[in-house]
Structure 1
Amino acid sequence: MNNVLVIDTENCYRSAERKAARYFSALYELVKSKNYASVLKEDFKQWGQKHKSSRSWLSWLTGYNRQSRSAAQGQRYIEWLEKAGKLDDYLDRSVSYIYLRDLGKRLNEPDTQARIRTITADVKRMLLHSRADDQGQLLEFISLEKVYRWAQKEQVELAVIWVIGKLKQVADHLPAEMNAEHAQRKLIKIIVGVVMHAIEEMDEAVPPAERSQILDEAIRLGYCYGLTYPFIDDLLDSKALTEQEKLDYAELLRAALSTGIVPDLEQWTGTDNPALKFIHSELSEAFQYVKNVQRPETERLFLEQAYVFFHAQELDRTKQMSNKAYSNEELYIPIILKSASSRLIARSVLRAKEDEEFDRQTFYYGIYNQLADDFADMLDDKAAGAVTPYTYFLTYRGERTDLINPFELYWAVIAYLLHHVYHSDEKTRDVMLGRAIGGLKRFKSKHGAEQFTSLMNSLFVGNDGFKLQIIQLVDKADDVDFLDKLIRDQLVDMLKNEQQQKQAFSEMIQRAREQFNAALLLEAKEVMLPVKQLLYDAANYSLEGGGKRLRPIMSWVMGTQEYGLSDVALMPVLRSLEYMHTASLIIDDLPTQDNAATRRGRPTLHMLHNSATAELTSLLLIQRAIYEQSSLYSFDSTIVLKMMRYSSQKAEELCIGQLMDLSSKGKSLTLQQLNEICYYKTAIAFEAALVMPAILAQVNETEIAALKTYAYHAGIAFQIKDDLLDFIGDASLLGKPVGLDIRNNTSTFVTVLGHEGAQKAMWEHYCSAMDALKQLRPRTMFLKYLLDYIVHRNQ
Structure 2
Amino acid sequence: MKEELIKDADACYRRAEQKAAHYFKSLYVQVMQKTYVPTLTRDIQSWKHNHIHHHTLLSFFSRGKGKPDSRGYHNYIQWLDYTGKLDNYLDRSISYIYMRDLGKALDSPDTQERVRRAVDSLKSYLTSSTKTDNPETFSMAGLYRIAQKEGIETTMIWVIDKLKTVSSNIPMGMDAEQAKRKLIKIIAGVVMHEVEEMADDISHQERAQKLDKAIRLGYSYGLTYPFIDDLLDAKVLSTKEEKQYSELIRTTLITGSVPELGEWTGKNLDLIRYIHSELQDAFEYIKVHQRPDTIKSFFEQSYVFFNSQEVDRVKDLSNGNYTNEELYIPVILKSSSSRLIVRSVISAPEDEGFDNRTFFYGIYNQLADDFADMFDDMKEGAVTPYTYYMKYHGKRLDLINPFELYWTVISNLIHNVYHSDKKTCEVILDRAINGLKRFKERMGTKKYNEVMELFASGNQKFNSIIQKMVQKADDVDFFDKLLRDHMMNILKKERKEQEDFLDTIETVRNQINNILHIPKTDHVSLMKEPIIDAANYSLVGDGKRLRPIVTWIMGVNEYGLESSAIVPLLRSLEYMHTASLIFDDLPSQDNASIRRGSPTLHQVYNIAIAELTGLFLTQKAIWEQASLDQFDSKTVLKLIKYSAQMTEEMCKGQAMDLESKGKQLTLEQLNMMCFYKTGIGFEASLIMPAILAHAKELEIEALKKFAHHAGIAFQIKDDLLDVEGDLILLGKPIGKDAENTSSTFVSILGSDGARKAMWEHFCLATKALQEVPRNKTFLKHLLNYMVNRDH
TM-score if structure 1 supplies the norm length? 0.96
One-letter identity of the residue aligned with 2:547: R
In 2: Cα distance, 1:583 partner to 1:268 partner: 50
Aligned to 2:226: 230
- C-alpha contact 2:639 2:692 (8 A) present in aligned 1: yes
Q: How far, CA to CA, are the matches of 1:61 and 1:639 in structure 2? A: 55
Query: In structure 2, what is the equivalent of residue 736 of structure 1?
Result: 732
SS of 2:663 mapped into structure 1? coil
Equivalent of residue 544 in structure 1, options 540, 547, 569? 540
Query: Structure 2 CA distance, aligned partners of 1:58 and 1:781?
Result: 42
Aligned counterpart, 1:442: 438
How far apart are residue 41 of structure 1 and its match?
A: 1.2
Q: Is the 8 A contact 1:249 1:268 kept in 2?
A: no
Question: One-letter code of the match for 2:669?
Answer: Q
C-alpha displacement of 1:116: 1.8
Aligned-pair distance for 1:513? 0.8
Assess if the C-alpha contact under 8 Å between 2:558 and 2:774 holds in 1.
no
Greater shift after overlay, 295-304 or 351-360? 295-304
Q: Alignment partner of 1:387: what SS? A: coil
Partner residue in 1 for 2:82: 83
Query: Would the alpha carbon gap of residues 629 and 778 (structure 1) be closer, same or farther in structure 2, given more than 3 Å must change?
Result: closer
| C-alpha distance in structure 2 between counterparts of 1:628 and 1:660, whole Å | 29
1:526 to 522, 528, 537: 522
Amino acid in structure 2 at the alignment position of 1:25: K
Correspondences of 1:395-406 after superposition (within 5 Å): 395-406=391-402
CA contact (8 A) 1:5 1:260 kept: no
In structure 2, distance between residues paired with 1:58 and 1:611: 84
In the TM superposition, residue 269 of structure 1 has moved relative to its aligned partner by 4.1
1:574 aligns with 2:570: yes
* 2:536 counterpart SS class: helix
Q: In the TM superposition, what is the alpha-carbon distance from 1:118 to its structure 2 partner?
A: 2.1
**Deviation of 1:45 (Å):** 1.1
Deviations 1:520-545 (A, max 9, x none): 11112413646672100100111111
Superposed CA deviations along residues 348-376 of structure 1, whole A, max 9, x for unmatched, are: 11111111111111111111110001111
Task: Report the counterpart of residue 283 of structure 2 in structure 1.
Answer: 287
User: For the residues of structure 2 that align with 1:89 and 1:131, how far apart are their CA atoms?
Assistant: 18
Determine the C-alpha separation between the residues in 1 that align with 2:135 and 2:326. 44
User: Greater shift after overlay, 752-761 or 47-56?
Assistant: 47-56
Q: Map 1:39-438; keep pairs closer than 5 Å.
A: 39-53=39-53, 68-70=68-70, 72-130=71-129, 139-266=135-262, 268-270=264-266, 273-438=269-434
Q: Secondary structure at the match of 2:529?
A: helix
Residue 455 of structure 2 is aligned to residue 456 of structure 1: no
Alignment check: 8 A CA contact 2:151 2:208 kept: yes
Instruction: Return the offset for 1:781.
Output: 0.7
After superposition, the C-alpha distances for 1:580-622 in whole angstroms (9 at most, x for unaligned) are: 1110000001111111111111111111111111111011111
CA distance in 2, matches of 1:43, 1:344: 29
For residues 332-353 of structure 1, the C-alpha deviation after alignment (integer angstroms, 9 at most, x for no partner) is 1111110111111111111111
Q: Percent identity?
A: 56
**Equivalent residue for 2:670?**
674
CA distance, structure 1, for counterparts of residue 286 and residue 267 of structure 2: 24
Q: Read off the aligned partner of 1:767 and give its amino acid letter.
A: C
Q: CA–CA distance in 2 between the matches of 1:120 and 1:219?
A: 23
Aligned pairs for 1:475-554 (under 5 A) are: 475-527=471-523, 529=525, 533-554=529-550
SS in 1 for 2:514: helix
Question: Partner letter of residue 371 of structure 2?
Answer: F
**Does structure 1 residue 31 correspond to structure 2 residue 27?**
no
C-alpha distance in 1 between matches for 2:113 and 2:774: 39
Instruction: Provide the C-alpha distance between the structure 2 equivalents of 1:413 and 1:264, rounded to a whole number of angstroms.
Output: 43
Structure 1 residue 267, shift from structure 2 partner: 5.2
Q: Secondary structure at the match of 1:354?
A: coil
Q: Deviations over 1:648-675 (max 9, x none)?
A: 1111100110001110000011111111
Aligned to 2:659, which of 657, 663, 667?
Answer: 663
- 1:668 is paired with a residue whose SS is coil
Equivalent residues of 2:667, 2:748 under 8 A apart: yes
1:617 maps to amino acid: T
Partner letter of residue 101 of structure 1? R
Deviation of 1:409 (Å): 0.6
| Partner SS state of residue 142, structure 1 | coil
Is the Cα–Cα contact under 8 Å of residues 7 and 258 in structure 1 kept in the other structure?
Answer: no
The aligned amino acid for 1:771 is: K
1:757 aligned residue (747, 753, 756): 753
Structure 1 residue 404: deviation in Å?
0.8
SS in 2 for 1:521: coil
Distance in 2 of aligned mates of 1:59 and 1:683: 56
Pair 1:585 & 2:578 matched:
no
Query: Deviation per CA, 1:132-190, whole angstroms, max 9, x where unpaired?
Result: 99xx9x83322211111111111111111111111111111101111221121111110
What's the TM-score once normalised by structure 2's chain length? 0.97
Q: Which runs of 5+ in 1 are unaligned?
A: none
Distance in 2 (alpha carbons) for counterparts of 1:131 and 1:702: 25
- Give the SS at the match of 1:204: coil
- Give the stretch that moved more between structures: 217-226 or 630-639: 630-639
Kindly provide the amino acid, as one letter, of the partner of residue 43 in structure 2.
Answer: D
Q: Which deviates the most, 300-309 or 110-119?
A: 110-119
Partner of 1:689: 685
In structure 1, what is the Cα distance between the partners aligned to 2:54 and 2:273?
56
Alpha-carbon contact 1:127-1:141 (below 8 Å) kept: no
> 1:267, 1:472 → 2: CA distance?
60
2:461 is the alignment partner of 1:465: yes
Q: How many Å separate the matches in 2 of 1:381 and 1:132?
A: 41
Letter in 2 for 1:640: V
Is the 1:678–1:716 contact (alpha carbons within 8 Å) kept by the matching residues of 2?
yes
Contact map agreement 1:265 1:271 (CA 8 A) in 2 = no
Q: Quote how far apart the aligned CAs of 1:13 are.
A: 0.6
Aligned-partner Cα distance in 1 for 2:131–2:773: 12
Once the two structures are superposed, residues 231-271 of structure 1 have per-residue CA deviations (whole angstroms, 9 ceiling, x without a partner) of 11111111211122111111111001000111221255437
Counterparts of 1:246 and 1:28, CA distance in 2: 34
2:237–2:268 CA contact under 8 A, matched in 1 = no
State the one-letter code of the partner of 2:198: M
Give SS of 1:76's match: helix
Say what the alpha-carbon RMSD is for the aligned residues: 1.9
Structure 1 stretches of 4+ moved >6 Å: 4-7, 55-64
1:582 aligned partner, one-letter code: T
Deviations 1:737-784 (A, max 9, x none): 111111111111001000110111111111111111111225141111
Provide the C-alpha distance between the structure 2 equivalents of 1:109 and 1:396, rounded to a whole number of angstroms. Answer: 44
Structure 1 residues 55 and 590: CA distance shift in structure 2, 3 A? farther
Relative distance call for 1:785 and 1:415 in structure 2 (3 A) is: same
Aligned with 1:566: secondary structure? coil
**Distance of 1:184 and 1:661 partners within structure 2:** 41
2:775 is aligned, of 771, 776, 779, to 779
Deviates most, 373-382 or 109-118: 109-118
Question: How far is the alpha carbon of 1:389 from its aligned partner?
Answer: 0.2
Shift of 1:125: 2.4
Deviations along 1:94-149, one digit per CA (max 9) or x if unpaired, are: 1111111111112222222222222222222222233699xx9x833222111111
Q: Provide the secondary structure at the position in 1 that maps to 2:137.
A: helix
Q: Take 1:60 and 1:556, find their aligned partners in 2: how far apart are those partners?
A: 51
Alignment deviations for residues 706-755 of structure 1 (CA, whole Å, 9 cap, x no partner): 11111111111100100101111111111111111111111110010001
Q: Do the aligned residues in 1 keep the contact of 2:769 with 2:776 (CA within 8 Å)?
A: no
Contact kept in structure 2, 1:31 and 1:409, CA below 8 Å: yes
Specify every segment of 5 or more residues in structure 2 that has no aligned partner in the other structure, as ranges: none
Contact 2:670/2:744, CA 8 A, preserved across alignment: yes
Between the aligned partners of 2:752 and 2:527, the Cα distance in structure 1 is 50
